[in-house]
Structure 1
Amino acid sequence: MAGNTGELLEFDRQIFLDLLNEDGLVIMAKGLGVDRMMLNFLKLYCSPKSFVLVLNTSNYQEEYFIEELKAHNVDLIPKIITSQYSSIEREEIYLQGGVLFVTPRILVVDMLSKRVPIHLINGIIVAKAHKMIESYQEAFITRLYRQNNKNGFVKAFSDAPSTFTSGFSQVEKVMKNLFVRKLFLWPRFHATVTGCLEKHKVDVVELLIPMTKHMVTIQTAIIDIIYTCLKELKKGNPSLDTSDLVVENAMSQAFDNIVKVQLEPIWHQLSGKTKQLIDDLKMLRLLILFLTQYDCITFLNYLESVRTNGTRLNKYSLWLFLDSTNVLFTHARKRVFGDSTVATENSKTRAEFIESDQLDTLLEPNPKWSLLTKILEEIKDMDCNSEEKRVLICALDERTCYQIKNYLIHGEREALMRNFNRTRSEKNKISLADGTGNENRNAEISISPIMVKLSKKSKEKRKSNEAENQEETSKKKSKTDAIHLNPEEIEGLPLDAITIHPLHGCSDPYSLTRVLTALNPRFVILYDPELVFVRQLEVFKASRPGQQLRVYFTMYSSSAEEQKYLTALRKEKEAFETLIREKAAMVIPEEREGKSDSCQQFSCDIQSIAMNVDTRIAGGRSQVNRNRKIIVDVREFRSELPSLIHKRGIDIVPITLKIGDYILSPDMCVERKSLSDLIGSLNSGRLYNQVVAMTRYYQRPILLIEFVKNKPFVLESKRFHPGEISFQDLTSKVALLTLQFPKLRLLWCDSPHSTAELFEQLKLNHDEPDPNYASEVGDEENAVVQYDMYTPKTQDFVLKLPGISIKNYRSIMNNIKDFQELRTANKERLIELLGNTNVGKNLWEFIHSVNQKVSATSTVSRKK
């Protein structure tokens, strides 16, 4: 966190000293400042005398670190290594030392190509270490690093404890990939953290506000609908683990991952009803969020659009026909139109109401708005200097911030009417995501028919406000995330300044941190509860012991909003408790750090060794070829396969290949396709050209179709397969491809692990590939034109003649019309065309020896 990087807090110093003395993995509670801790280590190594690599950082994170390091006047500013640098330039930068942010794919290729002086690296710092659970490139880098450098350090950081408890021994798996033995856990309830933050406590004013009668009824109806959907989901899929399929989890974003883990392997077997239920649960979670987050007009618009879109797409969800749904729609309309609107379902009566003058008595305000006014009035009446009355209001997303701004400037009635007028036209549809405001703020939401009718009534008012609405829209599109309100904009509140900032969805994730440091507020109003920001405020106050800070914490009582916040607290606490128990029971061997040659991670897999044992030799000694290698296209390092191949003891040679993705032997070329890539390549015809090139230059062309682990191992789902076979089917296209190219072989693998094992088996008893030949194949100019001039069979025939190679066969084909002309060509002409005396002589002798045999055979036949 910016501004807190000067003087370290007590627990900061303890973490720094622990990790400075020993390599390890640090897992901190969210909001305690994992970036601040990383920044202190980066300051230590920003010198030409050091050479430190930083992995797994985002672009914003890199810019933030560099900005802070510049402010601290370090000796050498870190560099960001991307593909814009050539290989020669990268090699020079590596030799200059300092701290380098490198993308994993580039670093892996440079390490394998010996461009990086691995033995000179002082250490590696890994950010977001929890991503190594599913990642592979960072693990590949640390393995290459430890194989060639036994003295450097590895320090990893994470602030996501829950991700380490989602499976079996996940934290131990990450530590194994990092080659570290120490695990440092720093939860919020750690004695040192608690003692440090309690010394300089934030003055917190917790304000619980009840929801309106309609909001309570709507929330109850949504929860009933969620419960019914979960019940139907369990009923239709009895094999599911139902322990996590509860209403409490369904209201959090983690529920999507829970369902994904269980259903992804059998997704192709699920019924349409099950898939619809999963989509409905996502939508209902957003619905219950929007209830407390946005005003009544926005909520009703979204609700009406769900039904309208379902009707238009012929997707009728089960929940739309429940009794609770009628209650939901009824009270959602009552919040906007009042009780008289829903007294009858007769559209004519409703239309008459719309045309009446009762509209001025409607539009239920957001209860938090009035509470916000009371808080600001309290701040205004406080006995302190006006310069100290700096107020920061933090809301969930950008849309909520602009609603607060409009309320503070125009008042609740005018703000609601402005929003109402803005939604009545198709030209000014509300942008609302198919997710929370921070997930996607630009998705479109339909306007309900009721809104359009009401808009006609407000036509004159709309014209008067049209210019102002356009101005607000342009402000929304600006890059500034914070909204500053001047004193004259808020009548009756002579505050020095009010700044409104979103908690999520900022264009820059460090924007709130910068605003908090630059503004240095005296009062913070937490409009929406957010666990991470609460912790940031605690650290912010502890780092400024002499400064007063009051935080107003607003929340709806007995609401889904409150439940979500408490659930986040509980789950983080349970995650740390689980990690503490795992740490106590963890037994880690000393060689885990990889600083000795006895580390088992550097040896081949047991299955790989067993495959190369010759039982005819006494004792079954291993016949593993230490020089085994596979040539890999540099673009393939985005996948997991190169790392798994290297893990099996096979050397990886990264080269930019024009033909194929993997070269296993001099005559074996593999083109790897994922299922989605296979479909796209077949449709575009690109795969056909790739197979043509492989069959032309390699004796054994192979098409590898690789599926994703824990996903269906099928090309097409039987459920969606038509009754008759069509040439447009995926299976038909694959069959036609094999008929067109008889030499082509297909490999089917259910995961990259299976592919690596299969590659090792295919390499047995085969020569090693030649990197020089592989890099030259297909690199000739106008290669595509040459491919089209001659048939593959003609080229194959010419390439099989003595002395003919990939480098000189075009000289023969372009200058000799046919085989008859080749037979009559003299020795001098062949030598001239091939550019080599011995090669030309061998070809001439072969052709004339064949001619003599043919002539002798013809003479014998005539005598008979």
Structure 2
Amino acid sequence: MNLMYIRKDLLQPRLYQELIYAKCKERNCLIVLPTGLGKTIIAMMIADYRLDKYGGKVLMLAPTKPLVLQHAETFRKFFTLPPEKIVALTGEISPNERVRAWARAKVVIATPQTIENDLLVGRISLEDVTLIIFDEAHRAVGNYAYVYIAKEYLKQAKNPHVIGLTASPGSTPEKIMEVLRNLGIEHIEYRSENSPDVKPYVQGIKFEWVKVELPELYKEVRKLLRDMLRDSLKPLAEAGLLDSTSADIPKKEILRAGQIINEEMAKGNHDLRKLLLFHAMALKLHHAIELLETQGLSALRVYLKRLYEEAKAGSTRASKELFLDKRMKKALALLIQAKELGIDHPKMEVLKGLIREQLKRKENSKIIVFTNYRETAKKVVEELMKDGIKARRFVGQASRENDRGMSQKEQKLILDAFARSEFNVLVATSVGEEGLDVPEVDLVIFYEPVPSAIRSVQRRGRTGRQKPGRVVILMAQGTRDEAYYWSSRQKEKIMRETIRMVSQMVRKERQLSLESYVKREVNEEIKEEKKETGGIKVVIDSRELRSEVVKKLKTLGIKIEVRTLDVGDYIVSEDVAIERKSANDFIQSIIDGRLFDQVKRLKEAYPRPVIIIEGQLYGIRNVHPNAIRGAIASIVLDFGVPVIFSSSSD
């Protein structure tokens, strides 16, 4: 293998990396490889080959800023290019600086939203990009920015080449085929830890699950809440909104029932109004049981305290009803008793035992604990610190009430300190899963099993890279925990089978290479539409760039100019401006009183304004249908502004 830019002294590719490179350097590939087995290395080898053969530049996309910065660091470490030729682009960099960086770079690593915006506004062109790499490629579905970028790339580039990287492309053939079609991919290279060419490099991961028996007091509280839940579900089932009144009903089904109630009420069927109370009670009880089973009594206590405050203030009727129930009073008494006895979730003691045992065996061990809830992460750190064990929390950037998120800088500082063994235990919520390079660890503990195959695979790859690792799953017997675990195992197995099936489907489709098919189809479409549009220009408000409408206009070959507009979202002529409102935004603007002020300003600025309302208007936000109809009538009759309804951005 002839490497031009890669530093051979630092990088000796493994056998499976060489094989995948050989198969993917000339055709559009999706590379499916468990986390930690060096997908980025293969991408760099292909980047080296494409730059050497075709020149131009390489674009790598990654969904989050930390991943972008991490990839940029890796490229700078292994590539002989001067550092200023390898640039990381995120929304934090000003548009003008991005344009300059794009012009001088050979390798660009960026977040997809940044590139999508720059493409829509016409700041950059993909003409001389000879390779595009989509990291975490399973995200290329629906309206995600990857989809639009791939379409534009196959249309603009002189020498297009697409590589997708993922540890888990999805669990159904349809989902994977959608990813392949959206990215114009024609071949899948799949490896698992058990593939013959990978096996020599992977130490076996010991996978243990530790069953935790719930104390009697727990079971009593759980029984009371489950009985109450069944009673709340009964009226919904009798009305035909649910198939069962089982306390093990998935939350999705309860949410769906609520949606139907709102839609029916919007049509004027007010008999269902009385069901809203039972629906709200069922949701609150479902969440309470989940907290009890997976997180513990203190988490449940905090939640019930919040509901009690709501009941006392009289702000929600459902909370009030719940606290009038004798069973809830009994459950509360049990929780107070548990607090006095110092009982919390038995998992906490088991967790501390596992960590102490690991540290006794090896003093400077690195341990990661994963949990689904920030509250639990906080509590785990507190409990470990009490025991004199050095632990730190690692959470995402979003801030919740009373709980500030972590900036990227803070995240990086914590990971660096963990790598230097300044503390032993990293307690992470789901932010630690996707591709972030968490240092080599001795033990991974799941505080609760994770139902999603994607996350399970991502986490498993966090250990056993250079030496045998150990993964322990804590599960409360006879609860959701156990169901989640089996569902996660099953999904992973299905994923492997699905990839095999899809690979065969792709082979059958080979005779009509997807790339040329997509390219031809898109070009024909655009030629036709360009003829029709005859050089139309639309001025768009910069805040609308997030909307799918802009991409659709661009694909139609319409000239786009982006500005910050005082009124309206789209100006299509001197007379006509269009205000586009999603159904949700329209209802919000009725609630907060902005609506008529906006319509008035629109009418004053343009002779022929139009309002488009996008999406299903009735049945959301519990606003009475007559209030909505009244607002629309007023816009049309009092202001003389036509209202057009559309079901989607198309």
User: TM-score, length-normalised on structure 2?
Assistant: 0.75
Distance 1:175 1:304, change over 3 A: same
Q: Distance in 2 between matches of 1:303 and 1:716?
A: 25
Deviations 1:784-831 (A, max 9, x none): xxxxxxxxxxxxxxxxxxxxxxxxxxxxxxxxxxxxxxxxxxxxxxxx
The amino acid across from 1:574 in the alignment is I
- Bigger CA drift: 271-280 or 92-101? 271-280
Taking a change above 3 Å as real, the CA distance of residues 285 and 572 of structure 1, as seen in their structure-2 partners, is farther
The counterpart of 1:400, out of the listed 346, 356, 376, is: 376
Query: Which one of the candidate residues 371, 377, 398 is aligned to 2:350?
Result: 371
Structure 1 pair 715–664 and aligned structure 2 pair: CA distance change class (3 A): farther
Q: Does the 8 Å CA contact 1:229/1:277 hold for their aligned counterparts?
A: yes
Give the aligned partner of residue 705 of structure 1.
Answer: 612
Instruction: Report the CA distance shift for 1:660/1:367 in structure 2 as closer, same or farther (over 3 A).
Output: closer
Q: Could you list the per-position Cα deviations for residues 666-692 of structure 1 after superposition, in whole angstroms to 9, with x for gaps in the alignment?
A: 654433233344453844723322221
Find the aligned partners of 1:24 and 1:379 in 2 and give their Cα distance.
Answer: 41
2:146 match: 138
In the alignment, which of 458, 479, 492 is matched to residue 559 of structure 1?
Answer: 479
Partner of 1:123: 131
- Mapped partners of 1:6, 1:320: distance in 2: 64
Please give the alpha-carbon distance, in whole angstroms, between the structure 2 residues aligned to 1:256 and 1:36: 42
Partner SS for 1:625: helix
Q: Who is 1:300 aligned against?
A: 301
Distance in 1 (CA, whole Å) between partners of 2:60 and 2:405 is: 38
The alignment-based identity, stated in percent, is 14
Distance 1:248 1:73 in 2: 54
Alpha-carbon distance in 2 for matches of 1:551, 1:286: 28
After TM superposition, give the deviation of residue 313 of structure 1 in Å. 1.7
Query: What is the alpha-carbon distance in structure 2 between the residues aligned to residue 264 and residue 602 of structure 1?
Result: 44
Contact 1:94 1:117 in 2 (8 A): no
- Aligned counterparts of 2:492 and 2:561: Cα–Cα separation in 1: 42
Q: CA RMSD in A?
A: 4.9
User: Aligned partners of 2:397, 2:257: CA distance in 1, in Å?
Assistant: 19
| Unpaired segments ≥5 residues, structure 1 | 338-361, 413-436, 446-472, 487-495, 613-622, 696-700, 723-728, 754-864
The corresponding residue for 1:845 is none
Matched, 1:250 2:171: no
* TM-aligned CA distance change 1:400 to 1:23, over 3 Å: same
Does the 8 Å contact 1:716/1:730 carry over to 2?
no
Worse overlay, 657-666 or 208-217:
657-666
CA–CA distance in structure 2, aligned partners of residues 127 and 320 of structure 1: 49
- The 8 Å contact of residues 632 and 642 in structure 1, kept in 2 or not, is answered as no
Q: CA 1:576 to 1:229, structure 2 compared with 1: closer, same or farther past 3 Å?
A: farther
| Distance of 2:598 and 2:289 partners within structure 1 | 47
Tell me, yes or no, if structure 1 residue 588 matches structure 2 residue 494: no
Q: Give 1:858's aligned residue.
A: none
Instruction: Give 5+ residue unaligned stretches, structure 2.
Output: 1-9, 389-394
User: CA offsets per residue over residues 167-221 of structure 1, 9 Å max, x none?
Assistant: xx34333333322233455567x64598457x62234554323111122333344
- Deviations 1:436-492 (Å, cap 9, x if unpaired)? x989874479xxxxxxxxxxxxxxxxxxxxxxxxxxx999xx957969999xxxxxx
- Cα deviation code 1:276-300 (max 9, x no counterpart): 5555454344423432554534433
Taking the aligned partners of 1:714 and 1:556, their CA distance within structure 2 comes to 39
Q: How many residues are aligned here?
A: 609
Find out whether 1:661 has 2:602 as its counterpart. no
- Between the aligned partners of 1:551 and 1:120, the Cα distance in structure 2 is 45
* 8 A Cα contact 1:66 1:78, kept in partner: yes
Q: Retained in 1: the 8 A contact 2:64–2:111?
A: no
Using the size of structure 1 for normalisation, the TM-score is 0.59
Q: 1:551 to 1:118 in 2, by over 3 A?
A: closer
1:104 Cα deviation from its structure 2 partner: 4.9
CA 1:438–1:570 in structure 2 vs 1: closer, same or farther (change >3 Å)?
farther
Contact 1:682 1:733 (C-alpha < 8 Å) held by counterparts: no
Q: How does 1:749-828 map to 2 (within 5 A)?
A: 749-753=646-650
Deviation at 1:106, TM superposition (A): 5.5
Contact 2:377 2:428 in 1 (8 A): no
Give the match for residue 183 of structure 2: 178
Contact 2:125 2:156 in 1 (8 A): no
The secondary structure found in structure 1 opposite 2:424 is: strand
Task: Please name the residue that 1:689 is paired with.
Answer: 601
2:549 is the counterpart of 1:641: yes
**Of the two, which has the highest radius of gyration?**
1
DSSP 3-state at the match of 1:752: coil
Cα deviation, 1:488-528, whole Å, max 9, x if unaligned, reads xxxxxxxx98623223066x777x955x51xx444555554
Shift of 1:579: 5.4
Find 1:670's aligned residue among 561, 578, 583: 578
Counterpart CA distance in 1 for 2:155 and 2:415 is 52
Question: In the TM superposition, what whole-angstrom CA distance separates every residue of 1:208-255 from its partner, at most 9, and x where no partner exists?
Answer: 2311112233334444545555554443344x7x59x9765626xx77
Give the match for residue 391 of structure 2: none
> Once the 2 structures are TM-superposed, how far is the Cα of residue 631 of structure 1 from its aligned partner?
1.4
Does residue 336 of the first structure (1) align with residue 339 of the second (2)?
yes
> 1:707·1:750 contact (CA, 8 Å) conserved in 2?
yes
Q: For 2:26 and 2:113, how far apart are their aligned partners in 1?
A: 30
Q: Retained in 2: the 8 A contact 1:225–1:324?
A: yes
Amino acid at match of 2:212: I
Q: Distance in 1 between matches of 2:261 and 2:428?
A: 32
Q: Which residue of structure 1 aligns with residue 425 of structure 2?
A: 500
CA contact (8 A) 1:300 1:332 kept: yes
State the alpha-carbon separation in 2 of the partners of residues 264 and 20 from structure 1. 53
Aligned partners of 1:27 and 1:186 also within 8 Å: yes
Residue 484 and residue 192 in structure 1: after superposition, are their counterparts in 2 closer, same or farther (change >3 A)? closer
3-state DSSP of counterpart to 1:685: helix
Residues 378 and 90 from structure 1, CA distance in 2 versus in 1: closer, same or farther, beyond 3 angstroms?
closer
Residues 84 and 35 of structure 1: is their aligned pair in 2 closer, same or farther, counting only changes over 3 Å?
farther
Question: Which residue of 1 is the match for residue 523 of structure 2?
Answer: 602
Q: Residue 569 and residue 665 in structure 1: after superposition, are their counterparts in 2 closer, same or farther (change >3 A)?
A: same
Structure 2 residue 63 is matched with structure 1 residue 64 = no
The letter of the residue matching 2:220 is: T
Counterparts in 2 of 1:627 and 1:109: CA distance versus 1, 3 Å: farther
1:572-603 Cα deviation digits (max 9, x unpaired): 43355455445545653755534369823433
Aligned to 1:458: none
Correspondence for 2:7: none
- Mapped to 2, the partners of 1:183 and 1:35 lie a distance apart of 16
1:390 to 360, 365, 372: 365
Which stretch shifts more, 496-505 or 565-574? 496-505
CA distance in 2, matches of 1:730, 1:43: 58
Shift of 1:122: 0.9
Instruction: Give 1:316's aligned residue.
Output: 318
